[in-house]
Structure 1
Amino acid sequence: MLTASHPKLPMRNKAITKDYYINKLGFKPFGTKDYEGYLMLEKDSIQIHFFEFKDLDPKENYGQVYIRTNDIETLYLAYIKANVEIHPNGHLELKPWQQKEFALLDPDSNLLTFGDTI
């Protein structure tokens, strides 16, 4: 019965979040309306929603999302080429649970982990 999940992450500044996800990560706006304090973005078959939290302290943000991909090497290299900063402990590697993964932090320190089943 469940058909999809769209994580909601906090953002301090809608313009900065939108710019990062669109111009660095390749997302695009979802929908045709612009809602104050809320942002919906999509890439391929996933969506991420953001809610405004102006007082968010990035050092205390534990927002996270795990995103599955079927071509992690290509995605990783594309982000490296686009100068997307990879998390210092999140470079592409094979994990013991048989996933190839890498991770990055967005401007608000939301952790995005990308994984591909091996």
Structure 2
Amino acid sequence: MKMLEAIPALPVTDLESSIAFYRDSLGFSVEYEEDGFAVLSWDEVRIHLWLANDERWRRVDRSAPVITGTESFIAGTGSCHIGMDGVDELHGRLEDLGILHPDAPLGDRPWGVREFAVIDPDNNLLTFYERIGS
């Protein structure tokens, strides 16, 4: 048995602005978009974005809550690690955009990677890393 691929699916509250962020700020390409779902890619990496904007959970009458799995509070709870070559170059390109995570600066980690993180408009966390050593 062998696993071949994993694709993060990140919940977002505004699909259009999220697509713009991933495309224009990070550099991903849009492969597909329809009905609250989008597929973005960069080389071999794929990210799925799905719309989590259902506000019915906020209703005052809590006796019969509506649970759909697309509640807006889910957005911003996702994260993923993206392996790459050239992590320093990407960091340099993103540094002035104000999207770097303040608690995850570029640096070498004891688990053998050089990494940094950014947050998307919904506060989903994306960590870009490059293997070092070995």
- TM-score computed with the length of structure 2 as normaliser: 0.78
User: Alignment partner of 1:22: what SS?
Assistant: helix
Q: Between the two proteins, what is the percent identity of the paired residues? A: 28
Distance in 2 (CA, whole Å) between partners of 1:27 and 1:61 is 19
The aligned counterpart of 1:71 is: 86
Contact residue 24 and residue 84 of structure 1 kept, 8 A: no
Within a 5 Å distance, the mapping from 1:30-69 to structure 2 comes to: 30-31=31-32, 34-54=33-53, 55-57=71-73, 61-69=76-84
Aligned-pair Cα RMSD in Å: 1.7
What code does the residue aligned with 1:23 have?
D
Contact residue 11 and residue 77 of structure 2 kept, 8 A: no
Distance in 2 (CA, whole Å) between partners of 1:108 and 1:17 is 8
The structure with the larger Rg is 2
The aligned counterpart of 1:7 is: 8
Distance in 2 (CA, whole Å) between partners of 1:103 and 1:51 is 21
The aligned counterpart of 1:91 is: 105
1:23 aligns with 2:24: yes
Gaps of 5+ in 1: none
* Runs ≥4 residues deviating over 4 A: none
Distance in 2 (CA, whole Å) between partners of 1:84 and 1:30 is 26
**Structure with more contact order per residue of length (Cα contacts < 8 Å, sep ≥ 6):** 1
Contact residue 68 and residue 114 of structure 1 kept, 8 A: yes
Distance in 2 (CA, whole Å) between partners of 1:86 and 1:61 is 15
Distance in 2 (CA, whole Å) between partners of 1:88 and 1:26 is 21
- TM-score computed with the length of structure 1 as normaliser: 0.88
Contact residue 38 and residue 52 of structure 1 kept, 8 A: yes
**How many residues are matched?**
114
CA deviations on 1:48-105 (whole Å, 9 max, x unpaired) are: 00111014237x7321000001111111111125x14200011101111121110011
Distance in 1 (CA, whole Å) between partners of 2:5 and 2:50 is 19
